[in-house]
Structure formats: C-alpha cells, structure tokens
C-alpha cells in the first residue's frame, strides 16, 4: 500500500522544514511520496519543499479545499494522508495509519490533535470546549486526515464551495459514505499530531471567539467575504 502525504502550504517557510523532516522520518522504509501544494507563496516555501525532496504542485486559487484537492490529483498512492504544514507527526504515525487501513472495512479517518504550548491560559479552556463539541458532533480536524483513493473520489474530495471548516465537512462526507457502504472510519487517539498554536496566540480574543467557533464556522463556511483575512493575512 503506497501512501501519498499531501501538505497544503501558503507562506509556510518557518514551519515546513520541521513538518517535512518528521514526515520523512515517519515514512522511512515505507512506499510513500510527499506532495507539497504551494498556494502562491511569496516566501521560500517552494524552495524548502524542493530541497527536502518533496513533489511540489502549484495552486493559485486561495481556497484550502481546492489546495487539498490539487494535491490529491497529483497523488499516485493508494492511500491519501492530508497533513497541515504547521503540524508535526510522531515517528510511528504513518505506520499506524497503514496498519489501520489494511482492514478492508476501513475507508479512512483522522488523527487527534495536540497543540504547542499556548500562551493565553483562557485559550486552553476554550480548546477544551472545542474538543467536547467535536466529540458530540463528530468534528475531526484536518491537521491529519486520511482515506482510500476510491473513497476520496466517491465523496467528491473536499468541498470547494467551503472556505473554512472544509476538513469537518469532508470527515462528515466520509462518515456518510462509510454508513452507505457498510464500512467504518477510524479515529486515532494516540499518537497525536502536534499542531502550532500560532493562530490562537496571534489573533485577538474577539477573532478567536468568532472565527474559530464551530457554530460560526458551520453557519458561514460558504461566505468567502468573511474569510478574506484567513487567506490574505494569515497568522504566521
């Protein structure tokens, strides 16, 4: 089983080296490829990806769902693994995913997320609340998601009409697909991936409470005008 690991990246020169180094360590000895999708970066994102030996694809449209789909279109593996550019995977994760996906009944899944230390104490409580509602509504973040190629095609990939929260919508689509076909999803609780807390540290409290609130995201994820700052001036 060949793994295609897809990393969407916009101006990720600071985080990308650690992300790719961890993925290369996790993929050692496995049949795999790393694909970085450069979303018109103006820093050294592309050069870093090339220097690290990744396949580099280009996507000019600033829509994270489209960027993920561009990477999937470039992939040649049997299994797609989507990892955010500010996310570090543990050394055993890719092997764990491959073991899970050797079960024919499993169409895909996601990996639990832990964050780098957060400076604001109140944000830690906010994220605990997010985790609670995530369990209630089966919201699994896209910092690390995976699925079979045929399942990805069957659900139509990531929904490009959605500008934020596309990972949640995709996981829900996979869940519906699994139910229709009598198959399953698998959520990996351990080991967790480690994602940068930069957004929660860099946004002001009002932006955090509004722009990262699950209900606000769900009600407005197709309103491109609300998320321009998410794409034009992201926290880096």
Whose CA is closest to 155, among 140, 166, 144?
166
pLDDT of residue 133: 65
Q: What pairs with residue 9 in β-bridges?
A: 38
DSSP string for 204-230: -HHHHHHHT-HHHHHHHTT-GGGGHHH
Average pLDDT over residues 116-144: 75
Q: Are 114 and 194 in contact (CB under 8 A)?
A: yes
Q: Between the ranges 13-27, 108-122, 137-151, where is the mean pLDDT highest? A: 13-27
User: Which residues lie closer than 8 Å to 163 by C-beta, 6 or more apart?
Assistant: 63, 64, 65, 221, 222, 223, 224, 226, 227, 230, 231
Predicted TM-score (pTM) of this structure? 0.93
What is the per-residue pLDDT for 121? 77
Q: Is the confidence at residue 4, as pLDDT, over 90?
A: yes
Residue 180: CA atoms inside 13 Å, Cβ hemisphere, count? 9
% of the chain at pLDDT higher than 70: 96
Structure tokens at 166: 């596309």
Q: Which residue has the higher pLDDT, 198 or 206?
A: 198
∠70-192-145 over CA atoms, to 5°? 25
Is there a contact between 14 and 81 (Cβ–Cβ < 8 Å)? no
**How many whole angstroms separate alpha carbon 115 and alpha carbon 95?**
22
Asked if the model's pLDDT at residue 69 lies above 70, the reply is yes
Domains for the chain: give ranges and CATH numbers.
3-118+140-196 (3.90.550.10)
Which pLDDT belongs to residue 129?
66
pLDDT in tens, 180-189: 999 999 999 9
Q: Taking the CB of residue 225, how many other CB atoms lie within 10 A of it?
A: 7
In this prediction, residues 34-59 reach a mean pLDDT of 98
pLDDT given at position 106: 98
The answer to whether residue 151 scores a pLDDT higher than 80 is yes
Residue among 168, 147, 161, 215 at smallest CA distance from 1: 147
Q: What is the mean pLDDT of residues 123-137?
A: 70
Comparing CA positions, the residue from 194, 201, 149, 158 lying closest to residue 67 is 158
Q: At residue 107, does pLDDT exceed 80?
A: yes
pLDDT value at position 234?
87
Q: Mean pLDDT across the chain, nearest whole number?
A: 92
Averaged pLDDT, 142-171: 96
* Separation of alpha carbons 4 and 83, rounded Å: 11
Mean pLDDT over 157-180 rounds to: 96
Segment 22-42 shows an average pLDDT of: 98
Average pLDDT over residues 183-200: 94
Is pLDDT of 132 > 80?
no
Please determine, for residue 123, whether its predicted confidence score (pLDDT) is greater than 90: no
Res 137: pLDDT: 67
Q: What's the pLDDT score for residue 39?
A: 97
């Amino acid at each position: 089983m060949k793994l295609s690991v897809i990393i969407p990246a916009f101006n990720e020169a600071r985080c990308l080296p650690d992300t790719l180094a961890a993925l290369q360590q996790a993929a050692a000895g496995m049949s795999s490829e790393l694909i970085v999708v450069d979303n018109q970066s103006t820093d050294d994102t592309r050069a870093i990806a090339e220097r690290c030996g990744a396949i580099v694809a280009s996507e000019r449209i600033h829509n994270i769902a489209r960027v993920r789909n561009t990477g999937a279109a470039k992939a040649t593996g049997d299994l797609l693994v989507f990892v955010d550019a500010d996310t570090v995977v543990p050394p055993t994760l890719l092997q764990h995913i491959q073991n899970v996906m050797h079960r024919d009944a499993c169409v895909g899944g996601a990996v639990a997320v832990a964050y780098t230390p957060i400076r604001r104490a109140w944000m830690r409580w906010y994220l605990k609340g997010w985790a609670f509602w995530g369990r209630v509504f089966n919201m699994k973040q896209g910092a690390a998601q995976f699925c079979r190629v045929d399942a990805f095609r069957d659900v139509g990939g990531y929904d490009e009409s959605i500008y934020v929260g596309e990972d949640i919508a995709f996981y829900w689509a996979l869940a519906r697909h699994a139910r229709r076909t009598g198959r399953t999803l698998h959520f990996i609780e351990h080991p967790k991936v480690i994602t940068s807390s930069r957004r929660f540290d860099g946004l002001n409290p009002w932006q955090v409470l509004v722009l990262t609130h699950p209900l606000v995201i769900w009600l407005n994820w197709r309103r491109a005008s609300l998320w321009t700052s998410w794409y034009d001036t992201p926290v880096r």
